[in-house]
Structure 1
Amino acid sequence: MKNLIKQKMKWCRLESLMMLAGLATQGVAAEICSGAPGDLHDETYSAAQTTCTSSTRIDVGPNVIVVSGAWLSLYAPVVTFSGPVRVQDRAHLNVAPHYSGSVVLNDTGIVTCSDAGSNGLPCPVAAYPHQDAEYGRDKTHYDNADGHAGFSFTKLAADGNPLLATAASWSCVRDNVTGLIWEVKTSDGGIHDKANTYRWGGKTAQGSGYGVYYPDWNTLVDGSNTEQLCGFSDWRVPTRAELQSLVSYDRLAPDAVIDENYFPNTVNTHYWTAQPNAVDPSTASEVDFGMGFFGGFPRNVTLLLRLVRSGP
């Protein structure tokens, strides 16, 4: 088991490093999708609406970027993501059939640049252009008043009413960029306690009959909906993209890679998502808030969990 977990961690960290390296990639703006079937890679899609179709399959990645205001729609019987895809600043990625939807993600939280020997440098660095900190909300909406850099959060009381950023006690957080509302973990020993762990596969887990589904986290999902946490009764387990949207990559262990001014009691370790892993029915997707990477763990391993609901 330990060797399997190490292999999973090694894989997810390598893939995430690839994703981070691709965040600042500036491809050629594309008005149409190339290839039949589509093979989309190293491109920045900036058209108001771009649709890619194939009679068989579309392979996406690496280093595909969908920029602010753009729509990239992928229609094929099989759509596979072979590398990292960056959807930024209220752009939309639709995948069909069966898994259509729009994705709104936060920026990375990185606000400094690097050269060959140093990190934390002011941007730009002449010999090393097009770095992550030079693009996106961290550049265009830099404001620490309601969250680090380009992040924007609102604290919510137990009844759902908004609170001042200086409030000392709150139960939920609304992400003003993604529109998602998040559970805030506690240290009181209750159902929202930061130390509670679960096997994967309870209510709101995606899929059905694909591997083993454990009911462990039903206590948290049902309890949150019954109590109407922050005034809502539609709490669920987040997708991988939703959960990773909280990661702030400017932070380093032993701190959790999240804005703890809004998300206290976050443990710098792995949190489950609602998504199974398509290539292995014995594992499911998770996000590591110690490193900021994502990967897959065996479903019978107990991990932490944070609930979400779609706003408003």
Structure 2
Amino acid sequence: MSFTVRVSLLVTIAALAGCNSKDNDKAAVVHPQCTLGQTEQNFVCVDVPLTATSISPTVLTQNQKTKITLVGTNLPSTAMFALQDGICEAAIEKTATSVSQWCTANSLGSKTVTAKYKIDIDTGKVDFTLTVNPKIYVKGLLNDTGIIGCANDTTVFTDCSAANLGGWFGLNQDGQLGRDVQAATGQLSKIGGGDAGFDFTKISATGQSLPTNATEWSCVQDNHTGLMWEVKTDDGGLRDKDNVYTWYNTDATTNGGFEGYANNGNNTQAFVVAVNAQALCGYKDWYLPDVEDLRSIVNYGRTSVIDARYFPDAYRESYWSSSPDVYSNDNAWIFNTPAANEGRGPKGYALSVRLVRFGT
């Protein structure tokens, strides 16, 4: 019995000693700390692709906010996706089989949508491809007036209900029809922002769509009319808000019979040429708006008729239009911003200019 015990102790001691022997002189293997989107295989972290199978839609319109849905299986609650050369907002719908986000594509062509376990983790990401096409605008669409109130013979109401209007209800007043009413009742889908039925998107100097809370932008896209507007600067440069110009147009087919005043190059025509040479917001087809164009961004339901959140320089009193006066070729039409009306004035007046273009 004592012999058996002695052997067991020797074996145990030898085994312990072997931990320090040359035959076992190996570093201990450390279990890896894998991140989300990885799994451990043989003490190595290996990426596990997200179980995402498709996205829809696969065709987007440039500068138009679109709901994109990622479909898969066992998607984690942190799953998100990012759009190449675009902006995606926080997820609005999440389940184990789908994730939806509002995204805006800023440029045309084939773009990659990258689905991730988490927006700041690249392990296990999966890529999908979609196509971005230009938006096709229909020229001639009009904005609504911005008026959402109604009136009877004695009172103006903010609520156009039958209880307020009585016998005046149902007469198709301005405040009962159009985009403004749809917006007020939550029935109008917008790409951007703006009061009532107006739908504006801020555009960067290079032509990219920006979020509504952007603090720097160079143009404004009207998502309903298709008109893109110049936004003035406050830097003393070419497009400074305080610059004024005489009316000048050398095209005899559109100048009403008198070209106006060149004013040593400080005129409307020269300004259009200079802005196009700089490719404002990526475009070279800017022009002097006609009086109807200028009227299109006026909100007649507000005291400040131009939305300063998009047009912070709109305090200027009068803007030139491209429309000549048919009664006197020395005059052209002017839009007066504070009064929200138009009138005629001599082409030699020095007035403000806001350029416009159509489309994207």
Report the TM-score range of the alignment, normalised by the length of the smaller protein: 0.5 to 0.7
User: Partner letter of residue 118 of structure 1?
Assistant: T
Percent of aligned pairs with the same amino acid: 38
Alignment partner of 1:191 is 2:228: no
State the match for 1:262 in structure 2.
310
User: Partner letter of residue 157 of structure 1?
Assistant: S
Alignment partner of 1:132 is 2:174: yes
1:109 to 146, 152, 175: 146
User: Partner letter of residue 288 of structure 1?
Assistant: N
1:228 to 279, 285, 300: 279
Alignment partner of 1:118 is 2:158: no
Shift of 1:127: 3.5
2:274 aligned counterpart, secondary structure: helix
Q: Superposed, which structure 2 residues align to 1:227-246 within 5 Å?
A: 227-246=278-297
Between structures 1 and 2, the one with greater strand share: 2
User: Partner letter of residue 205 of structure 2?
Assistant: A
State the distance in 2 between where 1:136 and 1:167 align: 29
1:279 to 327, 341, 346: 327
State the distance in 2 between where 1:259 and 1:203 align: 33
Contact in 1 for aligned 2:251/2:259 (Cα 8 Å): no
Q: Which moved more, 1:117-126 or 1:243-252?
A: 117-126
Shift of 1:204: 7.6
Give the greater-gyration-radius structure (CA): 2
TM-score if structure 2 supplies the norm length?
A: 0.54
Evaluate the alpha carbon distance shift between residue 206 and residue 299 of structure 1 in structure 2; reply closer, same or farther with a 3 A threshold. farther
Shift of 1:259: 1.1
**Structure 1 residues 181-234: Cα deviation after superposition (integer angstroms, max 9, x where no partner):** 100012221121111111112478961470242231234212211111100011
2:294 aligned counterpart, secondary structure: helix
State the match for 1:251 in structure 2.
302
Contact in 1 for aligned 2:260/2:330 (Cα 8 Å): no
Shift of 1:283: 0.8
Shift of 1:273: 0.7
Q: Mind listing any 5+ residue stretches in structure 1 that lack a counterpart?
A: 1-91, 93-101
TM-score if structure 1 supplies the norm length?
A: 0.62
State the distance in 2 between where 1:267 and 1:206 align: 32
State the distance in 2 between where 1:206 and 1:132 align: 37
Q: Mind listing any 5+ residue stretches in structure 2 that lack a counterpart?
A: 1-137
Contact in 1 for aligned 2:233/2:241 (Cα 8 Å): yes
Contact in 2 for aligned 1:204/1:274 (Cα 8 Å): no
User: Partner letter of residue 200 of structure 2?
Assistant: F
State the distance in 2 between where 1:279 and 1:305 align: 23
User: Partner letter of residue 276 of structure 1?
Assistant: P
Q: CA RMSD in A?
A: 2.2
**Structure 1 residues 65-99: Cα deviation after superposition (integer angstroms, max 9, x where no partner):** xxxxxxxxxxxxxxxxxxxxxxxxxxx9xxxxxxx
User: Partner letter of residue 181 of structure 1?
Assistant: M
Contact in 2 for aligned 1:284/1:296 (Cα 8 Å): yes
Contact in 1 for aligned 2:149/2:159 (Cα 8 Å): yes
State the match for 1:152 in structure 2.
199
Contact in 2 for aligned 1:205/1:275 (Cα 8 Å): no
Shift of 1:170: 0.4
State the distance in 2 between where 1:150 and 1:300 align: 37
Relative contact order (alpha carbons < 8 A, sep ≥ 6): 1 or 2 greater?
A: 1
State the distance in 2 between where 1:288 and 1:214 align: 21
Alignment partner of 1:310 is 2:358: yes
